Chain A
């Protein structure tokens, strides 16, 4: 399960993992803003790609697996890149593709180096809307529920499949039906989880065993990281 792997990565130990979530969020935001506002050319994204690669190495995360996981964004950005291409701006299309991929990699690095409760708490303390944070927290928990349900249903379907060679049409019908049932089951399961949370006094606010501490090193990390992102932007803008 994708989210389980990322969850395990987020609990590793490294210099990046040790930094306060707010510091990492600030650096990530600076990097994303600098990347988004840099000139529309795939070459200008190179310094940013190097910065993210340095971050992945510093966080002791598996580079190849990270590159593969970030590729999940490519089908969507390829679609928009193709639109730019058809509109006669192939360079802009390629830049969009590269920038979206590096952005996804940046967000993945943030998520894979920060445990989810700390990350959401950091977002909240930086002013993210409370409702948004609550929704993200709940959604994250339900991801496990939905993927587990999907695995059970897949196993049950394979057991009753009869033949491994099914027509595309039958497979599509089966998948569509399974998706509807998965939604209904997940809804019921999610209700159960919410009920169990309420039974233990949950009143809409997640508390943590490790209150965040913004140290001097976190301030240096946030300052240096953001400054490097801005420098990279200036470099590619005036090259």
Chain B
């Protein structure tokens, strides 16, 4: 099977000298949900930002058979949908519908089709009735769903989710799990929430100091690193 994501020997150093990634390898196949665990600052988000071309470090990053580099960024960003940790950063248009249609319009779809895609994505995440509301008036759960709809409207092959349960109460978390489980895309999820991870993960990676310290099933990782404080 051809992998959707192939990362080899990825290294990245921020401007302040912090070495965030120190030779990371990652392979993701269609249908997989790979969960990234690890402490704050261990490199999870930095890796995710590379998958969408928002950061470019040393090493190789291939997505859907394309090298992630400036000439391929437009195509890469159509294939890789990224949901950020803070939904407020992702919702910046005056209405929910305009925000969700932002991606399809950038992809070059005409306004009618972009609106149709946006409405379909909003219906998919259960927000079909709030398309004319302002994003800053939504609840945390609705914001997260609207942010996800904004990505789904672009019909990506891969979903990247950075700490998707942040600010969500337990019912909203359960609702998000149900939604994500039924999405066909391959997913890479960075999270600290082991229960949330357990509901989704087909495989887990543990990050430590910019490296993948261990790869395996979620239960192996949790056991090895005693990552779940409820255990």
Whether the Cβ atoms of A195 and B111 lie closer than 8 Å is no
CB-contact partner of A210 in B49, B86, B111, under 8 A: B111
- Report the Cα distance A198→B90, complex, angstroms: 10
**19 intermolecular pairs with C-beta atoms under 8 Å apart:** A7-B94, A115-B94, A117-B98, A141-B92, A148-B136, A189-B89, A193-B89, A193-B92, A198-B54, A198-B77, A199-B84, A200-B102, A200-B103, A201-B106, A208-B98, A209-B105, A209-B111, A209-B114, A210-B111
Q: Could you say which residues of chain A place their CB within 8 Å of the CB of B89? A: 189, 192-193, 195-196
Given contacts A144-B136, A207-B106, contact A199 B111 (CB under 8 A): no
Interface residues of A in 65-110 (CB under 8 A from B): none
Q: Which residue of A lies closest to B97 (CB)?
A: A209
Instruction: Report how many A-B pairs have Cβ atoms within 8 Å.
Output: 74
- Report the Cα distance A209→B78, complex, angstroms: 19
- Report the Cα distance A209→B114, complex, angstroms: 7
- Report the Cα distance A238→B74, complex, angstroms: 60
Count contacts on A: residues with CB < 8 A to the other chain.
27
Whether the Cβ atoms of B105 and A207 lie closer than 8 Å is yes
The contact string, 1 if C-beta is below 8 Å from chain A, for chain B 68-91, is 000000100110001010101110
- Report the Cα distance A203→B154, complex, angstroms: 15
Confirm or deny: A116 has a beta carbon within 8 angstroms of a beta carbon on chain B. yes
Q: Which residue of A lies closest to B153 (CB)?
A: A200
- Report the Cα distance A197→B90, complex, angstroms: 7
Q: Could you say which residues of chain B place their CB within 8 Å of the CB of A193? A: 89, 92
- Report the Cα distance A148→B89, complex, angstroms: 12
Confirm or deny: A187 has a beta carbon within 8 angstroms of a beta carbon on chain B. no
- Report the Cα distance A115→B134, complex, angstroms: 13
Whether the Cβ atoms of B54 and A199 lie closer than 8 Å is yes
Most B Cβ at <10 Å: residue of A189, A207, A211: A207
Most B Cβ at <10 Å: residue of A7, A197, A201, A202: A201
CB-contact partner of B111 in A198, A200, A201, A211, under 8 A: A211
Confirm or deny: B47 has a beta carbon within 8 angstroms of a beta carbon on chain A. no
Interface residues of A in 34-61 (CB under 8 A from B): none
Whether the Cβ atoms of A201 and B86 lie closer than 8 Å is no
The contact string, 1 if C-beta is below 8 Å from chain B, for chain A 182-197, is 0000000100110111
- Report the Cα distance A7→B82, complex, angstroms: 28
- Report the Cα distance A189→B150, complex, angstroms: 19
- Report the Cα distance A92→B150, complex, angstroms: 54
Whether the Cβ atoms of A195 and B92 lie closer than 8 Å is no
- Report the Cα distance A132→B202, complex, angstroms: 48
Q: Within the complex, what minimum Cβ distance (angstroms) separates A13 from chain B?
A: 13
- Report the Cα distance A148→B114, complex, angstroms: 30
CB-contact partner of B101 in A7, A116, A197, A209, under 8 A: A209
Whether the Cβ atoms of A209 and B98 lie closer than 8 Å is yes
Q: Within the complex, what minimum Cβ distance (angstroms) separates A213 from chain B?
A: 12
Q: Which residue of B lies closest to A202 (CB)?
A: B106
